[in-house]
Structure 1
């Protein structure tokens, strides 16, 4: 095997995590290539991130597209196996908890290629979440586990991972946020969308909220109650769009559904929001750093540090309107805690460990 590092990405959340790691490894002179599996293939869901984050164009794009979990994971594994056979990399770096991540981990284990997992150790303890399965499998197969928070380190230790494999490095997604924060123009976002001074941003796509028609209907009812209090803008993920539309999501005059936004545009919108309603993992982290009240529509979170050291709280659909009312009345805090090592240098720490391992 060579000293080549392959970065495996495939979905929107991967790119802000990969960018600072790639940049830091380049500064150390490490040979690397970027692989995009094409799990997210819509321009607004992936390609725009390469332009905005200064990522190099992918050296390889497998263009696997959508499908069931099994079909998509299998297609990624097949493509990666051929690629790894041709490249014989010295290490793979995978990010987060998407299907591309677990697919790469499985192929790496079969081919005996060292594996580094960025964002290791996160746990929701909810086996019904596909992402939880992906996290558990990837961490079990990884040689280097890069944790973003102390609770993640503890989870890995409790699962019997050898201490020398675990590295608490901070959060590379926050590196990207801090590097671009001056570009997040809330006034521009408000003006371009014609929003009122006080508005709420929502992102909703988790299976537990949108897959079952009854859940989708309950979600729409809750979101309409939020829109009774403040204008809501919802950049809507393709997943679940049809069910939410059928449940009447688009019918409230103060609820604006728009297409997904680029990274800079979305965080400009979030930065000016009175509150964010989400079921996304990454948004919980971004709002924590921006000081925006975050209401997470899930029974659990794999990112509890955003609750103990941030602006996040878990809410149910039934209580959401009441909690939004309280948040709007209280307004945004002038100061708030932030998690340890979320300081913009996680990518550098990760790169140093990888470079040392390659040597």
Structure 2
């Protein structure tokens, strides 16, 4: 298990986020009531989203941001139990669990259920920013609902492409749609940033952050194996 105040990160996104805090804050500052904290809604549905967002959630809940943001983690329940277990491994929890999965549910049915429930939650919470990760149905639908409610969207792992809409499906389609309107795009690589620019994204909305999945692996492995001089960790450190 990870300590709650762990600050180890390999990718550059924590420092970039801090150094660009005021720039990023301007994206959603217009509607903020100065007497209350800015609300950031992070929507997850699957285990990969949980793994890759765990370092981000921990960072945003750290003492540095505690007085600036109120963080709300919502799960649609695509991978309900294993997502919960994943977040527990990183000492994080879900604040709202919608539990939307049903047996033999089609993509259109799932899309409809997520859309309706996320819209309801957004109207209750009234977040100033919505964060999604990757290319899942949860990410796409949540981002669309936020956009329809004029809430800016931040996309973690933006710009990844296979350049084939059928492979993987619907993931390639999902991430292209999200990146077409996301206000903040956290690209893992320079190439991903170049892809976004070629697709028409504004360069000032793109931040090269590295991959938070690497942070998650590093933090978890190092704390599970604190006394091992492991070659994998040495490679990551370098």
Distance 2:193 2:162 in 1: 14
* 1:92 partner SS: strand
Aligned to 2:85: 48
Q: 1:110-141 CA deviation, whole Å, 9 max, x = no partner?
A: 10001000000000111112100110111112
Matches within 5 A, 1:257-296: 290=232
Aligned to 1:88: 126
Distance 1:47 1:5 in 2: 20
Instruction: Return the offset for 1:149.
Output: 1.0
Distance 2:118 2:181 in 1: 16
- 1:114 aligned to 2:152? yes
Q: Residue 141 of structure 2 is aligned with which of 87, 103, 107?
A: 103
Instruction: Return the offset for 1:36.
Output: 0.5
Task: Give unmatched runs, 5+ long, in structure 2.
Answer: 1-30, 33-37
Distance 2:146 2:114 in 1: 12
- 1:58 aligned to 2:97? no
Distance 2:57 2:87 in 1: 12
Q: Residue 75 of structure 2 is aligned with which of 15, 36, 39?
A: 36
* 1:145 partner SS: strand
Matches within 5 A, 1:85-234: 85-128=123-166, 129-183=169-223
Task: Give unmatched runs, 5+ long, in structure 1.
Answer: 186-270, 272-288, 292-334, 344-359
CA RMSD of aligned residues (A): 2.2
* 1:103 partner SS: helix
* 1:138 partner SS: helix
Q: Residue 17 of structure 1 is aligned with which of 52, 76, 82?
A: 52
Instruction: Return the offset for 1:182.
Output: 2.8
Distance 2:150 2:157 in 1: 21
Q: Which runs of 4+ in 1 moved over 3 A?
A: none
Greater C-alpha Rg: 1
Alpha carbons 2:188, 2:210 under 8 Å: kept: yes
Q: 1:213-233 CA deviation, whole Å, 9 max, x = no partner?
A: xxxxxxxxxxxxxxxxxxxxx
Q: How many residues align?
A: 191
- 1:7 aligned to 2:42? yes
Q: 1:11-49 CA deviation, whole Å, 9 max, x = no partner?
A: 0100111111111112212211100011113x2x32211
Distance 2:109 2:43 in 1: 18
Distance 1:137 1:74 in 2: 17
Alpha carbons 2:72, 2:95 under 8 Å: kept: yes
Q: 1:299-349 CA deviation, whole Å, 9 max, x = no partner?
A: xxxxxxxxxxxxxxxxxxxxxxxxxxxxxxxxxxxx97x7xxxx7xxxxxx
TM-score between the two structures when normalised by the length of structure 1: 0.50
TM-score between the two structures when normalised by the length of structure 2: 0.75
Point out which structure has higher relative CO (alpha carbons under 8 A, 6+ apart).
Answer: 2
Alpha carbons 2:51, 2:87 under 8 Å: kept: no
Distance 1:6 1:77 in 2: 15
Alpha carbons 2:44, 2:139 under 8 Å: kept: yes
Distance 1:95 1:290 in 2: 25
